[in-house]
Amino acid sequence: MMGLIGTLSMLRFLMWLFWLPHSESSQLTDFSMGAARALDALLQDYAYLAFDRPRIRTGVIYDGKVSSNLTGIKVSALRLRSGSLRRRGVKMYKEFQLPIGVVEQPYVERLVLVYQNLGNWSARYYNLPGYIYLAPVLGLLAYDASNLSATNLPELDIKASGQPISISFSDVKPLPVGSSAKCVSIDLQGSLNFSKVLSDNTCTTFQHGHFSIVTESIAPSPAPVSPPSVIHHKGKKNKSKVWIIVGSVAGGLVLMFLLGLLIACASKYKRRKKMQEMERAAEVGEALQMTNVGSTKAPAATVTRTQPTLETEYRP
């Protein structure tokens, strides 16, 4: 019967996670708190399953077992008389120490204190943007113990009326250089409260909830780069070389084009002039040679075509 109850609780928890839309907000959203509250209900079922034995002793810690898909989470149950809790407190319940004067609301004759250690699931259910967990999230919640087969029970509101409840964290990561540690408490509505870490990694609280030690996350340093002046000069030098090469090639092409154009124009002019001279020669006829006559030049025929004859030498 108890195994069937645990199976049904797990199915209810998985269906709730499947249907509720996800959120990526940096705050503790309704979804993140909804998932955490569903986990609380599930862990209450597993804690009560630890009492599944013939004789249950008051004041004895019973460690429960979670399903394989929640490996890493630890849960325990401690049944107490409310009067004994108020008069004597609890010297040590895992990492929690409850002083004299702790009372619950509403009043019940017996109650169960459920201990949670979320281990590597801490950041998944209680994501704190800008912070890194140095210790796992620990939970302390109280439920009515009148029916140890009950599931999905509401929490009892427990408060310390005198000295605070202390939490001594044993599994704490080394603190990064230049950072400081803080205690964080998260109530059942998702409200955060930061406080100073006491000696021996101890935090205090006056009520139930979830607790841990965190530090502010430090953004990674940017990769080293060359000095801006060096980059500027190198870039300017490379650009100058490129422009020199481009200018040289362009200038050479323009010069070759102009040279070819000049040669073509000169050849064309030479042919045109030669044609003009030939045309002039054809129109004028044979060119006469020039000879000096006194102080001037005059054309002179080099060949006499018809020999002159005297009239007296003519004989009819």
Q: Span 210-221, mean pLDDT?
A: 84
pLDDT at 288 > cutoff 60: no
Question: Rounded mean pLDDT of 6-19?
Answer: 46
What is the distance between the terminal CA atoms of the chain, rounded to a whole angstrom? Answer: 174
Sorting pLDDT into bands at 50, 70 and 90, what band is 104?
very high
Q: 141 near 77, Cβ under 8 Å?
A: no
pLDDT of residue 249: 73
State the pLDDT at residue 225: 47
What one-letter code names the amino acid at 249?
V
Mean pLDDT for 76-91 is 96
Alpha-carbon gap, residue 239 to 248, rounded angstroms: 14
CB count in 10 Å sphere of residue 311 = 5
Task: Give the pLDDT confidence score for residue 18 in this predicted structure.
Answer: 40
**Domains, in order of start, for the chain:** 2-216 (2.60.220)
CA angle centred on 55, ends 146 and 95, rounded to 5° = 75
- Tell me the pLDDT tens digit for each residue of 171-197: 899 998 889 999 999 999 999 999 999
Which residues have a Cβ under 8 Å from the Cβ of 94 and sit 6 or more positions away?
A: 61, 76, 115, 117, 138
pLDDT tens for each residue of 20-75: 333 333 346 666 788 999 999 999 999 999 998 788 999 999 999 999 999 999 99
Using CA atoms, how far residue 7 sits from 22, 54, 194, 252, 255, in Å, is: 24, 21, 37, 87, 91
Report the C-alpha gap between 272 and 274 in whole angstroms: 5
Of residues 221 and 294, more confidently modeled: 294
E-strand spans in the chain? 61-63, 74-81, 90-93, 96-98, 102-105, 110-117, 131-133, 138-144, 157-160, 165-168, 181-186, 192-196, 202-205, 209-216, 289-293, 296-300
Q: Which token pair is 316?
A: 């009819």
Q: Name the nearest CA neighbour of 82 among 157, 168, 148.
A: 157
For residue 196, what are the β-bridge partners? 182
Q: How many CA atoms lie within 13 A of 138 on its CB side?
A: 27
pLDDT of residue 28: 66
**Cα–Cα distance, 148 to 236 (Å, whole number):** 80
User: Which tokens hold the place of 81?
Assistant: 């008389």
Q: What percent of the chain has pLDDT over 70?
A: 70
How many Å apart are CA 255 and CA 252, to the nearest integer? 5
pLDDT in the model for residue 290: 63
Whether pLDDT at 278 is above 90: no
Q: Is residue 134 a contact partner of residue 98, using CB atoms and an 8 Å limit?
A: no
Residues 6+ apart with CB under 8 A from 242: none
